[in-house]
Amino acid sequence: MTVYDNGPLLVRGDFEIHTQDGAVVDRNRATMALCRCGRSAIAPLCDGNHKLGHRGAEKHLG
Ligand code: FES
């Protein structure tokens, strides 16, 4: 697994991803990108929305 600054976790190798209720997440690629910013519309997978800004880096105005 590789952690990318302000981006996803890239997971390679032999693994399965399960939702919290036990369902297996379809795996259609050798490398999977797991969202860790909370912005993905296809969670738990990354859809690139982390580029809008990582939640941990958000600035709160007002
Ligand atoms: S890490 Fe890419 S959308 Fe969340």
* DSSP line for 16-56: --B-TTSPBPP--SSEEEE--SS--TTTTB--SGGGG--GG
pLDDT at 27: 87
3-state secondary structure of 3: strand
Query: Domain segments of the chain: what residues?
Result: 1-54
Average pLDDT, the chain: 86
- Kindly give the distance from the C-alpha atom of residue 46 to the centroid of ligand 1, in angstroms, as a whole number: 4
Q: With the C-alpha atoms ordered 34, 21, 26, 12, is the resulting torsion angle positive or negative?
A: positive
Residue-wise pLDDT tens digits, 10-33? 999 999 999 899 999 888 889 999
CATH class of the structural domain 1-54: alpha beta
Say how many CA atoms lie within 13 Å of 44 toward its Cβ. Answer: 15
Ligand 1 touching residue 44 (CB < 6 A): no
Retrieve residue 53's tokens.
């800004």
- Kindly give the distance from the C-alpha atom of residue 57 to the centroid of ligand 1, in angstroms, as a whole number: 13
